[in-house]
């Protein structure tokens, strides 16, 4: 996804609007337009990051990542390996194992809220979370990867 064309369109719109004013307005707009490119780029990346989080929150498993290749972002759907392991457990086992777990009330509320956000039961959320931990990078080899987002 190329942001530069969108940035240039915004800059063009600003120049066209400033063109309606006097010479001082056009000159001030010209200086603003020259400096806005980097700020617009960061703001558009922020917007993409927020959209990725919102959409990712609606996925049953996996997430949406914003990855940068130079200055060009791309949205990537990442399906968690652990989620696949969880579905295998859910389909293959009869859920006959039981554990009584005592949690601090604040942690219990957090788990319930997370399960509600994902639209699944608290038990299913806990099974998924445990499977993720058991299949975490500390227990298996993965390539080095940097994740996150830039904020300006």
Q: Give per-residue pLDDT as tens, 30-64.
A: 889 888 888 898 889 889 888 888 888 887 777 88
Please list, in sequence order, all residues whose beta carbon lies within 8 angstroms of the beta carbon of residue 78, skipping any fewer than 6 positions away: 62, 63, 64, 65
* 145-149 mean pLDDT: 59
Q: Give domain limits for the chain.
A: 1-79, 80-142
Question: pTM (2 decimals)?
Answer: 0.49
CA distance 139 to 125: 21
Please state the φ and ψ torsions of residue 35, each to the nearest 5 degrees: -95, -10
Q: Quote the pLDDT of residue 24.
A: 92
CA distance 145 to 122: 31
Q: Which of 79-88, 115-124, 134-143 has the lowest mean pLDDT?
A: 79-88
Please state the φ and ψ torsions of residue 77, each to the nearest 5 degrees: -85, 125
- Asked whether the predicted pLDDT for residue 86 surpasses 80, the reply is no
Average pLDDT, the chain: 77
């Amino acid at each position: 996804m190329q942001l530069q064309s969108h940035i240039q369109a915004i800059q063009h719109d600003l120049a066209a609007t400033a063109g309606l004013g006097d010479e001082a307005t056009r000159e001030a707009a010209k200086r603003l337009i020259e400096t806005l490119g980097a700020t617009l780029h960061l703001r558009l990346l922020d917007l993409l990051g927020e959209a990725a989080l919102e959409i990712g929150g609606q996925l049953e498993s996996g997430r949406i990542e914003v990855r940068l290749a130079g200055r060009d972002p791309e949205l990537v759907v990442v399906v968690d390996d652990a989620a696949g392991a969880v579905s295998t457990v859910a389909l293959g086992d009869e859920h006959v194992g039981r554990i009584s777990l005592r949690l601090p009330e604040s942690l219990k509320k957090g788990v319930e809220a997370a399960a509600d956000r994902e639209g699944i039961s608290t038990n299913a959320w806990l099974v998924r979370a445990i499977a993720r931990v058991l299949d975490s990078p500390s227990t298996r080899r993965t390539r080095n990867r940097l994740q996150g987002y830039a904020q300006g």
